Every structure is written in structure tokens, then in C-alpha cells.
Amino acid sequence: MAKTADQYFDELRATRVWRSIFRSGTGSSTLKRALAIQQNVFLHLFSTKVRTRMLSFSATWYLGTLTLGTFFILVATGIPLMLYYHPSAPQAYNDTKDLQFVVSSGLFLRNLHRWSAHAMVFLVFAHMFKVFYRGAYRTPREFNWVIGIVLLLITLLLSYTGYLLPWDQLAYWAITVGSNIASATPIIGDKIHFLLLGGNTVNANALLRFYVLHCMILPLAAMFFVAIHFWRIRKDGGLYAHSSEPAVRRANAAEKEGQ
Amino acid sequence: MAEEQKNTSAESAIDVNRRQFFAKLGLGSLSIAAAGTAAFAYQYLQPNVLYEPSPVVNQGKPDRYPLDSVTLDVNAGIYIIHSQEGYFSLSAVCTHLGCLTAWKPELGIIACPCHGSKFFVQADANHKPGDKIEGPAPRPLPWKRIWLNDDGDLLVDRSTDVPPLARDSFVRI
């Protein structure tokens, strides 16, 4: 009798090499399955037990997973772009043009990066509206809504800092206008403007600061908050409130009473 | 006896054992180190030397600018205006969000391409050059200090605002 794929996988999991790497063996008992998650360095970020429907496929993956998908595309295209781009005032514009016209597949990578960035901003907003209209910001998910707002701001800042990097007229004036908006902050506005640009005008220091923010600080911050965001979604029993939840039952009861 | 007991309890309230003392010492040192790190980080993020262009720019000989002309220096971000009263300089940087404005000779005004602010150039009874006609700009375009150097060149200090229409705000030849 031919073995099924599951049986092959079980055999693989029983091998010494597998067990030496993942520390968990075969078996389908609740304990074994829990250990397989909890003792894996990647999977242990997820809660040990989740509802089956959390793992089911849906058309949009709640939009948030699609957003994460665009983020992965942006990382995967952004890193190769960094290999040809110098964040210095004399070179940045020429490097951008080289990526566009000279480097093999540079045009493809750059366009993919750009369109994914647009898609990510659109999806983040779509995700926010969906969460809002489904009432998924209510208890116990209110903290995850706050994390989501932080992620929205990080997305917008990533978009904004990336805008300067081509170092053309559009970039220069967009950042001039944007940083002047920051200086409208009461009392500390001018200080923020100075710290953000590393000077009084958009020049070499500003380009370098925006590059470091765009390629290092903001992506790392995004990953950190995404990890919390996804962990909480699974822990809170899904993205949306379900009719069996106490908060929803109370709301429904209150509505009935009102009628 | 009762008083003695009171004393002991008061003493024990401020008394800490060795472990607590070292824990407090450690936390205190860490807090001081954290505050110091924050202060150093704040200072580090502010450049002490800026390789930015000098605020004083040489605008050449006055005879480059015909009477009743408005000349924009794109790189310096200022206008040199030769009016009946003399030469004066207006900032070309919009007071709204820092875009570079443009002189519109057909309308006789200065206009910002970004968000549509418009500014007077000609003085009239109620308006000084630089005053806003319309748009989101919160303030008039500032006047900049202008003077002649020993070589007879017009110099403009972009970092110094001067009062509009004041005697010293013009160069008269």
C-alpha cells in the first residue's frame, strides 16, 4: 500500500536529524502538538493553541496578511536596490537613474518596490476601515487597534522617508513641505524640524537620515509591532468579534432592551 | 515601652537590608545611566557643524537690476527688487510650507506654485511689498537685510529679517 504524504512527514519527523533540529518528535497528542509549536523558535511567537478557523484561508486574509505580503515584497526588493544606491547628495539622483536605465532588472525592482509601497498604504487603510466597520476595535481587541494605529503611522513614515531618496525635484519639495508641516508642532516644532533634517534645509544630512530611517529604523520598528499585532490577533480569537463573545452578547442584549 | 516600640517601627520603615540596598543602588545607577544615555543621544542627533551655504549671498552689481524689475535668484531663494525707493530684497520662500515662489510679470505679483498663496510686490495705500493677497500663507514674505559692500556689490543676509519699507531696508544709489 502506498504511503500518504502525511506518513512520509511523520517518518521524517521521527528521524534523528529532525529531532536534533526541532527538539520535538512525532505524535498527535495535544501535548506533542503543543510542544511542536512551543519548542520551535519561529512558531513559538504564535500562541500554542489557536482555533482552527484562524488557520483557514480566506480571499483577502483579513487584508492585514495581504499588507504583510506587500511588506515582504518591499523588503525583498528594497535590499537589492540598496546595493546600487548611495545615499549621498552628489550620487543619489544618478544612482536612481542608473537603477532605472542601466542596471539589469533595476527598473523591474524599482517599480515593484514603488507599486508595493502604494499597495501597502492602500491595504493598511482598507484594513483599518474593515476593522472599524466590523467593530473589531472593541474589547478584548482595543490594544491591538492601538498597535494597528502605530503600524499605520510607521507605514506612512516609511512612505514619506522613501519619497526623498530619488533626490529629484519632486522629492526635494515634498520633503521641504512635509518637514515644514512638522515644524508647525507647538513649541518643539522647530527642534523636530532640525533633528529630522539634521540641519535647517533639506540637504545631505537630511538624505542620510531619511535613508537610515527608511532602511533600518522604521522597518525594524514595523517588524516588532507586526509580531505583537499578529500574536494578539491569534490570542484574541481572530480579527473580528464573534456572536459567542461576551462583549458582543452584552451589546446585543442592550440593543434588544432598547427596542 | 510603647514609645520604644514606635521608634523601632519607624526605624524599620526606613531601614533596608543589604539586598534591598544593593538593588536600589543598582536601579539608581541604571536610571542615571539611562538618563545620561538619553541626554547624549539627544546631543548626538544635533549636528554641531553644518555644511550649509552661507546665509550671506553676493548678488552682484546693482546695475544688473533695471528700475522696476523683480529678479528671482533660484539658488539663494530671494528676490532683488529695484523699485523707485531703491533696492530691496524679499525672501522667495513661501511662509506656508517653504516652497519656492515665482514672480508673475503678467500679473505683477509673486505666486506660490504649491498651495496658491499670492503676494504683493508693488506697495499701495494699504499694502506693503511682501504682504499676502490670498492663499494659506500665514505671514507676509519677509524682507531681508541688503547692503553694498566695498566692491560695490549688493549683499543680502538671508538669516536677518528687516522691517518692511524702513529706511535701512533699502539700498539707495
Mean of pLDDT values over A57-83: 90
Mean of pLDDT values over A241-250: 69
| Whole-number pLDDT of residue A207 | 96
A13-27, A44-58, B69-83: lowest mean pLDDT where? Answer: A44-58
Residue B42 DSSP class: H
Which set of grid coordinates corresponds to residue A232? 494578539
Q: Does the beta-carbon distance from A173 to B45 stay under 8 Å?
A: no
Chain B nearest CA to A176, separation (Å): 6
- pTM of the predicted protein model: 0.82
Q: Are A53 and A59 in contact (CB under 8 A)?
A: no
Work out the pLDDT band at A91, boundaries 50, 70, 90. Answer: very high
CA–CA separation, B17 and A186 (whole Å): 48
Chain A nearest CA to B90, separation (Å): 18
Contact with chain B for residue A201, Cβ under 8 A:
yes
The residue among A164 and A29 whose pLDDT is bigger is A164
| Whole-number pLDDT of residue B1 | 46
Asked whether the predicted pLDDT for residue A48 surpasses 60, the reply is: yes
Contact with chain A for residue B41, Cβ under 8 A:
no
C-beta pairs of B65-70 under 8 Å, 24+ apart in sequence: B70/B103, B70/B105, B70/B110, B70/B121
pLDDT in tens, A97-126: 999 999 999 999 999 999 999 999 999 999
| Whole-number pLDDT of residue A232 | 87
Mean pLDDT, all residues of chain A: 88
Asked whether the predicted pLDDT for residue A141 surpasses 80, the reply is: yes
Residue B54 DSSP class: P
CATH 3.40.50.970 is right for the domain spanning B56-169:
no
Q: A with B: how many residue pairs have Cβ under 8 Å apart?
A: 31
Q: Does the beta-carbon distance from A177 to B99 stay under 8 Å?
A: yes
List domains and CATH numbers for chain A: 60-236 (1.20.810.10)
The residue among A193 and A45 whose pLDDT is bigger is A193
Report phi then psi at A36, rounded to 5.
Answer: -60, -35
- Following CA atoms A125, A130, A132, A136 in sequence, which dihedral angle do they give, to the nearest 10 degrees? -130
This complex has an ipTM of: 0.76
pLDDT in tens, A142-156: 899 999 999 999 999
CA–CA separation, A151 and A76 (whole Å): 19
* Chain B CA closest to residue A209: B45
Residue B126 DSSP class: S
Contact with chain A for residue B114, Cβ under 8 A:
yes
| Whole-number pLDDT of residue A253 | 79
* Chain B CA closest to residue A177: B97
Contact with chain B for residue A203, Cβ under 8 A:
yes
SS (H, E, C) chain A: CCCCHHHHHHHHHHCHHHHHHHCCCCCCCHHHHHHHHHCCCCHHHCCCCCCHHHHCCCCCCCCHHHHHHHHHHHHHHHHHHHCCCCCCCCCHHHHHHHHHHCCCCHHHHHHHHHHHHHHHHHHHHHHHHHHHHCCCCCCCCHHHHHHHHHHHHHHHHHHHHHHHCCCCHHHHHHHHHHHHHHCCCCCCHHHHHHHHHCCCCCCHHHHHHHHHHHHHHHHHHHHHHHHHHHHHHHHCCCCCCCCCCHHHHHHHHHHHHHC
Mean of pLDDT values over A19-32: 78
**What pLDDT tens digit does each residue of chain B (173 aa) get?**
455 555 555 555 567 899 999 999 999 999 999 999 999 999 999 999 998 899 999 999 999 999 999 999 999 999 999 999 999 999 999 999 999 999 999 999 999 999 999 999 988 888 999 999 999 999 999 999 999 999 999 999 999 999 999 999 999 98
* E-only strand ranges, B55-169: 56-58, 69-73, 78-83, 86-91, 102-104, 109-111, 118-120, 132-134, 143-148, 154-162
Mean of pLDDT values over A66-75: 95
Contact with chain A for residue B138, Cβ under 8 A:
no
Contact with chain B for residue A88, Cβ under 8 A:
no
- In single-letter form, the type of residue at position A217 comes to I
| Domain spans, chain B | 2-44, 56-169
Mean of pLDDT values over A22-44: 79
Contact with chain B for residue A105, Cβ under 8 A:
no
Chain B nearest CA to A208, separation (Å): 12
* Chain B CA closest to residue A179: B97
Chain A nearest CA to B100, separation (Å): 9
Contacts of A179 in chain B (CB under 8 A): 98
Q: Are A87 and A211 in contact (CB under 8 A)?
A: yes
Q: Which of A176, A180, A201 sits opposite B52 (nearest CB)?
A: A201
pLDDT in tens, A199-227: 998 999 999 999 999 999 999 999 999 99
